[in-house]
Structure 1
Amino acid sequence: MTQAAPVQLPTSAPVARGWRARVRAAWSVTRFAATRAWRWAKPYLQVISAVGWLVLLGAVLFLAAGVTLGWPEFVFVGITFLAGLVVAVPFVFGRAAFAVGVELEPRRVVAGERALGRMAVTNTGARKSTPSRMELPVGKGLAEFIIPGLDPQAEHEELFAVPTNRRAVIVAGPAVSVRGDQLGLLRRAVKWSDPTELFVHPRTARLDPSAAGLVRDLEGEITKTITNSDISFHALRAYEPGDDRRYVHWRTSARTGQLMVRQFEETRRSQLTIVQTSDRRYYTSDEEFELAVSVMASIAVQVVREGTRVSVVTEGMSLRTHTPTAVLDDSCRLEQLTSPFANMRDFARISTLTLPPPSVAMVIAGSKSDTTDFRAVESLFGSDSQTFGFRIELGAPARVSRVSGFSVMTIGELADLPRVLRRVR
């Protein structure tokens, strides 16, 4: 008797694959629809302020509680909240055409000097504009102005003062016009200008020429390093394969019967490297850090004016040093921070790796630093470099401490800097 073949039931794998495919397709369609809906609704939802969202949430909760619990008082409160939102809607409608210009005069000031701003609003539309409110962020503050109704091409001017009591980069703008209700439930803002920067430079001391102890030179400063090509002649030696034939001294070679080449003493252009730590571990207060920035800027600006090359490095940035204005502008951006380096030596080593060897190096730190920190940085530079330390201690008497030929200057106020540098020189 022939046995019938077993009947094979369909496995669930194809069914599961089909089910997952349908889920993925439904998810893709839902995500696409949600994205399109959000793009459409986002401009309208942005009109609702934070207070407006709280009022809307309160309306929903009160209505839900009133209907569920049967309390008409809650229903009344919820309807009142919704009515407030509805009444606020007409206040956000309206269209204006403005040309807004924001000017700061001057663009660069020293901390403590006066700076003024001017905002000019011009109606560029074909009809008279309605009164509007204009907001202008200035630094961490916010200035508000009421712009009256303007005829076509008419201009309205507002003046404002900029606080410049501390070194900073103050950003004014962008100017935005604001429409909304008096309760602040709905708010529609339109941007009319770009931000404008005001540089508040640190206070600096006027230093004597070459106060940093540098040599103003054209051909360079002679060092004890011997090189095969330079300007300052040192001696003759026997020719070796690979030497440049341009430096063969033919008269001596003919007299001795052996090729002789010139050796030179290496000359270097004066190069100043300023290493200033911004690590808050080394400063006792913000005022002490400000004094350190002023000391750094005073020295760097004087050196740049003399035409000497200078590099200024901090943990946060390396300053531009091609002009005195560039130095002062970048010094406005320096801020205290928590350094990623374990100590000052590691910071100085990493920051100066790509810089040319300095003829003079200066290390600036706060009162929480000690001689050990400065000596650790000094060891990074060669014997041809002269290193100075500046220890900033607010209110301390100016003094110069010398340890094994290394000088550490204590600066208690900016007026001490010229006098201390003259003593060291």
Structure 2
Amino acid sequence: MTFNTESRSSRTSTSSRTSTNTSTHTQYSTTRAATIVSTLVWWLRAWRATTTAVRAATLWTRDTVTPAGWAVVAASVVLLPVGVIFGWIELIAAGVTAVALLLLSLPFLMGGRSYSVDFSLGIERIVAGGEAIGTLTVTNESKKLELPGRVDVPIGTGLTDVYVPLLRAGQSHVEDVVVPAYVRGVIDVGPVTTVRTDPIGILRREVAWADVHRLYVHPVTVSIPSTSSGFVRDLEGNPTSQIVDSDISFHAIREYAHGDGQRNIHWKSTAKTGKLMVRQFEETRRSRLAIVLALRADEFGSDDEFEMAVSAVGSLAVRAIRDGRDIAVVGSQEIPEFAMATVRSIRSLSVLTQRTLLDELSAISSGPNMMPVEAVCALAAEVVPDISIAFVFCGSTMTPKRLQALTLGFAAGVAVVAVLCDPDDEPRYRNLAGTSVLTIGVLDDFRSLLARRAG
């Protein structure tokens, strides 16, 4: 057998462009073995072409035939042959009707929609419990009439249908689309899809537009007393009372000891006492407010408790950002179940601005593969420096013993406040072995308790 391949390449150059065209010609000898090879090659090419065509037809059928259409197809494929075989007039009539419906629905898919679709969402952020209004504009860009159609607007996991009337050439149809934002979260709106279908809904043809709008549904927050005074300030007290040899805040003068720096010698006192005297300073540290949100699902009795905790976190963090405080908002990262015993991981939410913080709180969620809140507190104490007070937000399933253990995760001198979200309990304040516990039944209780303690 001989197998010869010739490859020929030609290049054509002009003053404006250069193009390269390459063509390959294959020749086979006429021996018997070569004939078998050429036959196999032909069958391989045919198989590839058939596979591609079948795949394309399958995708087109899946996207075109509706559930009602599959019922009509099944009726035409099953009822008509069975009726012919057994001579049942009723089945033959049903089968013929199904075939007729299929044939009549095909013309509705021919041609293309000359629609120009524009969808705009006036806002990108909204507080949970409201509604956002989007504007859908459909324009007929052709020079002929366009039959009525439908435009689908995906909203999160749902779908809104907008029916487009008969449009003359150049005519536009404008309609408002309501985006419900009743629950905190992140909602993707789009891509908008134009749908062409027959009156019965057997077949359909869709064209998707690329634009996707993201709507952040922020948690509900309340205005709480300033963190620079009142209850929070009283809990913090002085950041530190440690005496050091070098800092900014002057404290006292003591006798010189070996190893003290000469620049701290107080010469006037030295002249009066006849002994070297040096300055002492009070260590100053910039206090930081740590906010820890429990994310383990079993640390809350219900979804309402978790939503209340997220709203309380947002309220306190927004107040602290307005006051210009240094804050850190942390929660557990999701950890694979097989690594729960060996891996510890927390995430810090962005606190650059109120908007970035609320955006991240919109997307946060609880789950079973989260670290216990005690472990989150311990790791937060290691990675967040200069914590003076820590607020820990959790649910009604937290026992008094676990609430007391929250203080152990932080360094000595750090005031710990546990905010227990329990709709079935009355709002109150109590102290459990050094851990301050605020129990709130609704979000407004958090504001009133802080204001009451501040007063």
Q: Secondary structure at the match of 2:391?
A: strand
2:141 to 110, 124, 132: 124
Matched to 2:57, the amino acid is A
Change (3 A) 1:231 1:250: closer
Deviation per CA, 1:58-112: give whole Å up to 9, x if none.
Answer: 5444466567x64555565445434433322222222123332223344333233
> What RMSD, in angstroms, separates the aligned Cα atoms of the two structures?
3.9
* Cross-structure match for 2:358: 328
Asked if the contact 1:365–1:390 (Cα under 8 Å) also holds between the matched residues in 2, the reply is yes
Which structure 1 residue ranges, 5 or more long, are not aligned? 1-23, 216-220, 241-246
Report the count of equivalent residues: 388
Residue identity opposite 1:307 in structure 2: G
Q: Is the 8 A contact 2:381 2:411 kept in 1?
A: no
* Alpha-carbon distance in 2 for matches of 1:199, 1:344: 26
Alignment of 1:14-163 (within 5 A): 32-33=48-49, 36-45=52-61, 46-62=63-79, 70=86, 72=88, 77-163=94-180
Displacement after TM superposition at 1:28 (Å) = 8.3
Query: 1:296 touches 1:364 (CA, 8 Å); kept in 2?
Result: yes
In 1: Cα distance, 2:312 partner to 2:420 partner = 10
**How far apart in 2 are the matches of 1:64 and 1:263?**
104
Return the offset for 1:408: 0.6
Q: 1:14: which partner in 2?
A: none
Q: After superposition, what is the alpha-carbon deviation per residue over 1:284-306, rounded to whole angstroms, capped at 9, x for unaligned?
A: 33222222121111101101111
* Amino acid aligned to 1:404: A
Q: Structure 1 residue 26: deviation in Å?
A: 12
SS of residue matched to 2:431: strand
> Do 1:248 and 1:262's aligned partners in 2 also have CA atoms closer than 8 Å?
no
Corresponding position of 1:288: 305
> In 1, Cα distance between the equivalents of 2:76 and 2:201?
16
Structure 2 residue identity aligned to 1:391: L
Q: Distance in 2 between matches of 1:382 and 1:92?
A: 71
TM-score by length of structure 1 reads 0.76
Cα distance in 2 between the residues matched to 1:29 and 1:212: 81
Q: Per the alignment, in what secondary structure is the counterpart of residue 249 of structure 1? A: helix
Give the equivalent residue in structure 2 for 1:420: 449
Q: Which moved more, 1:150-159 or 1:230-239?
A: 230-239
* Higher mean C-alpha deviation, range 291-300 or range 133-142: 133-142
- Write the distance in 1 (CA, Å) between the matches of 2:353 and 2:280: 37
How many Å apart are 1:125 and its aligned residue?
3.7
Please give the residue correspondences for 1:352-367 in structure 2 after superposition, counting only pairs within 5 Å: 354-367=383-396
Partners of 1:64 and 1:337 in 2: CA distance: 54
Identity %: 32
TM-score by length of structure 2 reads 0.72
Contact kept, 8 Å, 2:293 with 2:392, in 1: the verdict is yes
Which of 299, 310, 318 aligns to 2:327? It is: 310
Counterpart CA distance in 1 for 2:47 and 2:283 is 70
Q: Given residue 170 of structure 1, which amino acid in structure 2 is its aligned partner? A: I
Q: Give the CA deviation at 1:158.
A: 0.2
State the distance in 2 between where 1:327 and 1:182 align.
Answer: 49
Structure 2 residue runs of 5 or longer lacking an equivalent are 1-39, 271-276, 334-346
Aligned to 2:240, what secondary structure does the other structure show?
A: strand
